[in-house]
Amino acid sequence: MEAEDVGGVHIKYLYHCRRQLWLYLRGVRPEHLSGSVRLGEAVHETSYTRRGPVDLGAARLDFIDGRRWVHEVKSSARPTPADEAQGRHYCYRLEHIGIDAQGAILHYPRTRRTHRHPYTPEAARLAQADIAQVLAVAAESTSPTRLARSACRGCGYTDYCWTE
């Protein structure tokens, strides 16, 4: 895996659970069985439908506006560090193709809230560090340890991690 292969899902899983990331990188994809994933897909399909997604290869962001703000629609009710990291990652990707993104605006339709995260030099450094961490997880020969079961609620990989 190369740095340019790292996408938003990799970043999300890095922040949520390194074991989840490791499994995903190896082609284990039980997300289609998860109710949480289906909810997220439904929110995406019914929110901000006038704008199409922007495909950056490994990364696919929801849309970018005329002022160069990345917009991401989230199905959760409140922001998470993974959400902010994904927005930062998309800004980093855009920067590397010559588009100076202003930052990310995260939309939470369930609570009708938005959160702005300007893209700064510090955010760029964090995005680079996140990519390096994803590559480190990809290089591991054994799966990282699982999280506490309480952290696995809603995860599509729960059965894999907790079936003994």
Task: Classify domain 3-147 at the CATH topology level.
Answer: Lambda Exonuclease; Chain A (3.90.320)
pTM score of the predicted model: 0.84
Q: At what angle do helices 8-16 and 121-139 cross, to 10 degrees?
A: 80
pLDDT tier at 44, thresholds 50, 70, 90: very low
Question: Which residue ranges make up each domain of the chain?
Answer: 3-147
Amino acid making up residue 120: T
Q: Helices marked H in the chain — which ranges?
A: 8-16, 18-25, 35-46, 81-95, 121-139, 158-162
Helix and strand counts by DSSP (H, E) for the chain: 6, 6
- pLDDT tens for residues 107-157? 999 899 999 999 999 999 999 999 999 999 999 999 999 999 888 887 888
Distance set, CA 98 to CA 4, 28, 76, 122, 141 (Å): 15, 34, 31, 18, 35
Whether residue 72 contacts residue 83, with contact meaning beta carbons closer than 8 Å, is answered with yes
* Burial of 149 (C-beta count, 10 Å sphere; 0-12/13-18/19+): exposed
Is the pLDDT at 57 greater than 80, yes or no? no
Of 75-79, 96-100, 110-114, the one with minimum mean pLDDT is 75-79
pLDDT confidence tier of residue 25, bands split at 50, 70 and 90 = very high
